[in-house]
């Protein structure tokens, strides 16, 4: 048997996506589809700085206290490059944090399972590194925004 390779993570940036109130689309008795419009935001960190462009959204299916997420939006990098972002994952509060989440109180990333996986697309040579690695995110909700710390898996 070969040695188990344990991945390491490189912190690359934080996305702060500003959002509008969610729109209920509907679905069935057991689950509900919603869209949370993305209205803007910022990207800042050691490897990327820019703005989140308005017009994207996060389509999410709620099943009890758990949500499956599927977000798509654009980032305009500081150098003018446009980057397509696809971000999928799961949102689930720990039992003791669920009441605080729904009351709008702050909950830390450790108290909320809000994890995502990214795919980036761009033809900008300066940002090709985004298209050639796997990225994961650890998110938290803030008033009118979702903040995601993004890590490259090394």
Q: What's the pLDDT score for residue 86?
A: 98
- 92-120 pLDDT, tens digit per residue, is 887 777 777 777 777 778 888 999 999 99
Low-confidence ranges of the chain (pLDDT < 70): none
* Category of 23 on φ-ψ map: left (φ > 0), alpha (ψ -120 to 50) or beta: beta
- Rounded-to-integer distance, Cα 104 and Cα 12, Å: 28
Look over the chain and give the mean of its residue pLDDT values, rounded to a whole number.
93
pLDDT at 95: 76
Domain layout of the chain by residue ranges: 9-153
Selecting from 2.40.160.20, 2.60.120.680, 2.60.130.10, 3.40.50.150, what CATH number does the domain 9-153 have? 2.40.160.20
Long-range contacts of the stretch 110-116 (C-beta < 8 A, 24+): 112/140, 112/141, 114/89, 114/90, 114/138, 114/139, 114/140, 114/141, 115/89, 115/90, 115/139, 116/69, 116/71, 116/87, 116/88, 116/89, 116/90, 116/148
pLDDT, residue 115, reads 96
């Amino acid at each position: 048997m070969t040695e188990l390779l344990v991945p390491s993570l490189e912190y690359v940036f934080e996305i702060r996506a500003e959002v509008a109130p969610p729109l209920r689309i509907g679905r069935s008795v057991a689950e509900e589809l919603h869209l949370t419009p993305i209205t803007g935001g910022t990207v800042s960190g050691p490897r990327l700085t820019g703005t989140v462009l308005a017009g994207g959204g996060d389509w999410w299916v709620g099943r009890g206290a758990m949500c499956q997420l599927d977000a798509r939006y654009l980032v305009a990098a500081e150098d003018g490059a446009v980057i397509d972002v696809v971000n999928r994952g799961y949102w689930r509060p720990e039992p003791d944090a669920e009441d605080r989440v729904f009351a709008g109180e702050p909950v830390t990333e450790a108290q909320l399972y809000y994890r995502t996986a990214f795919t980036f697309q761009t033809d900008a040579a300066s940002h090709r590194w985004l298209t050639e690695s796997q990225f994961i995110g650890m998110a938290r909700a803030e008033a009118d925004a979702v903040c995601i710390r993004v890590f490259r898996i090394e």
